[in-house]
Amino acid sequence: MEIIDFHTHLWPIAWGIGGSRNRSGANIPEHALRRIVNPDALVEEFAAADISRAVISTTIESLFGLDGEVELDVIRRINDWLVGVVAAHPEQLVALGMVDAFSGDAGAIEAEQAITELKLCGLVIDSSRHGLFLGDSRVRPTLEVAARHNVPIFVHPVDLPDLSIFIAGAGPLGNSLGRGLMNGAAFLSVLRNSILERFPSLSPVFAALGLGAIIQASRGGKYDRYQRLLRTRPNLYFDTMGEDPGIVKVLADFLEQNGCW
C-alpha cells in the first residue's frame, strides 16, 4: 500500500535555532525546531517508516504568527525554496504553495504563480486571520484560482485568540482543542457562505481536529441528512492525524456513510 503523508511542515533554516528569524520564542520545542528545517532528515525518516511520499507545506501563521505583518516577498521566497526542496527529492516530496488567502487579489496572484509557474501541487492557507474565515469575500479570489486549476487547498488550523484560557483549563491538549475549534469554524464558514456551490470543483482539506464542526453542520439544516440526499457529494476531505487505527476507522466510516466524500 502506498502511504502518503499529507500534513508535513518544513521551514527554511533561517526560522530554525540560531537563524536570523528563528522561532525559538514561540513555545516550539527545540527538537522540533531542529527537525522542521532539515528536509534530508525528513526524507530519511519517511524512508525508514515506508512512507512513499510527503506533501510538504509552510504556513503563514508558523512564520509570521497569528497577527503579525505578512511579507509578500518572503512568501515568494518560501515558495521558490519549496520548489528547490522538491527538486532535490522528486520521488519523495511534493509541495503546497504558501498563500495569504486573506489578502484579497494579492493572494490570488501569488496562488496563480505558485500553481502555474512554480508547478506546486496545491495551496495551504490558514483557517483564520484577523478575525476572518474562509467564507469572507477577501478569500474568494484565492479560492477561485484553486478551483479553476482543480488543485487542493489545505485549510490549516491556527491558534485560538484566547488560547491561554483553553490551556489553563484543559492542559496542553487544550492547544489542539483550540486549533480544532478554529479549523471547524473555517469549515462552517465554507458551508454558511455557499463556497462549495460557488466553486464546485474546489477541494478543501480540513484537519481532523476540526471534525466537531460536522456535527454542528448536520444539526443546522445546511448539511443535515435530508439536505445531503438532495445534493451531490461535495469535494470535502479531512486529514486524519493520529496513530490509532480504531479512531481513523470511525472517522472513515462516518464520512463515507454520511456522504462527505
- HSE-CB at 261 with a 13 A cutoff on CA atoms is 12
> pLDDT at residue 68 above 60?
yes
Neighbours of 97 (CB within 10 A): 28
Q: How far apart are CA 115 and CA 147, in angstroms?
A: 11
Residue 121, C-alpha cell as written in the block: 501541487
Which of these, 101, 22, 89, lies nearest to 55 by C-alpha position?
Answer: 89
Q: Which residue has the higher pLDDT, 246 or 242?
A: 246
Q: Which residue has the higher pLDDT, 199 or 175?
A: 199
Contacts of residue 180, defined as CB under 8 A and 6 or more positions apart, other chains included, come to 157, 207, 209, 210, 211, 212
> pLDDT at residue 220 above 90?
no
Q: Which residue has the higher pLDDT, 148 or 17?
A: 148
> pLDDT at residue 226 above 90?
no
Mean pLDDT of the chain: 87
> pLDDT at residue 259 above 60?
no
Q: How far apart are CA 40 and CA 112, in angstroms?
A: 28
Note whether 159 and 123 are within 8 A (CB).
no
Q: Would you kindly state where each structural domain of the chain is located, as residue ranges?
A: 4-257
> pLDDT at residue 113 above 50?
yes
> pLDDT at residue 35 above 70?
yes
pLDDT at 261: 45
* Residues forming a β-bridge with 8: 56
Write the pLDDT tens digit of every residue in 85-99: 999 999 999 999 999
Write the pLDDT tens digit of every residue in 143-198: 999 999 999 999 999 998 888 888 888 888 888 888 999 999 999 999 889 898 89
The pairing of beta strand 132-133 with beta strand 128-129: antiparallel
Which of these, 45, 148, 130, 126, lies nearest to 93 by C-alpha position?
Answer: 45
Q: How far apart are CA 18 and CA 21, in angstroms?
A: 8
Fold adopted by 4-257:
TIM Barrel (3.20.20)
Radius of gyration in angstroms for the set of CA atoms belonging to the chain, rounded to a whole number: 18
**What value does the mean pLDDT take over residues 34-55?**
92
